[in-house]
Copies of this chain bind each other. A is one copy, B any other.
Amino acid sequence: MNHEVAVTRLETPMTRSRFQSGLDELKDRLTEMSISAERSIELGIEAYLTRDSRIADEVFKLERETNSAEREIDQLAIDLLAMQQPMAIDLRFITACMKINADLERVADQAVNIAECALAEINLPKMKLPVDLGRMATTVAGMIRRALDSFIDANAELAEAVLIMDDAVDRMNKDIFVSMASLMRSNPQSVDQALNAVVVARNLERVADHATNIAEDVIFWVEGKDVRHGAAKEAV
């Protein structure tokens, strides 16, 4: 009987420690996933700008790895929710991880779309367009990195900086759309290349949206308040 009690007493801290190491693993796996998502955007734009199909292939490979990682991370999160009654802060952390996970997987999908534009571009005559998609991609990859950093450091201020960057990316996307439409009107020979640039810009803009979603999830987790759709501002 005494023996049984001793076992029971031992089990409680062990379970908590298993739970804690599960949370750490979740954070580590999501960090890897985020690095991979950022890398896939950088590779996608490199494939497009340098017209290199081997780099596009790397993007397709990364996306398959990301798909597997998403499933594993989701299962890990569900296992943690099932393992014990999580406290409020852990609960918000785990559900934020599940959402961030879904967003990162979709970033890899956007990178695939960009890599597909790269393959289409290879078959077209080279043309110098008055757009800087490389700069836009750097900004967007920076948003993913900051969103991740804000998650690792539980830093809501950094997450809020990501929300501001999103406005700049929206403007870049609109400017590219307007300048490419103007180019297509004046030079019908440029239609395919200009359309490709519009599609790449829209995909980058969507990546920025995913980074924004992640930043919002981080703020929700850290501050326990929901800032989505300006709710925090409304509440002030």
Contact = CB atoms under 8 A, between A and B. Distances in A.
A191 B185 CA distance: 6
Contacts of A88: 82
B181 A192 contact: yes
B184 A71 contact: no
Given A81-B81, A184-B184, A71 B102 contact: no
B228 A70 contact: yes
Interface size class of A (residues with CB under 8 A): 35 or more
Integer count of this chain's copies in the complex: 2
A226 B188 contact: no
Interface stretch (A7-15, A46-54, A91-99, A157-165): A91-99
A178 B199 CA distance: 13
Interface in A75-92: 75, 77-78, 81-82, 84-86, 88, 91-92
Contacts of A71: 226, 228-229, 231
Given A71-B229, A191-B191, 15 more contacts: A68-B229, A70-B229, A77-B95, A81-B81, A82-B91, A84-B85, A98-B98, A102-B102, A181-B192, A184-B191, A184-B195, A185-B188, A185-B189, A195-B195, A199-B202
23 contacts: A67-B228, A67-B229, A70-B229, A75-B226, A78-B95, A81-B91, A82-B85, A82-B86, A98-B99, A99-B99, A99-B102, A102-B102, A102-B213, A177-B195, A181-B191, A181-B192, A184-B195, A185-B188, A185-B189, A185-B191, A185-B192, A195-B195, A199-B202
Q: Sorted from nearest, which 3 A-B pairs have the closest CB atoms?
A: A67-B229, A184-B191, A185-B191
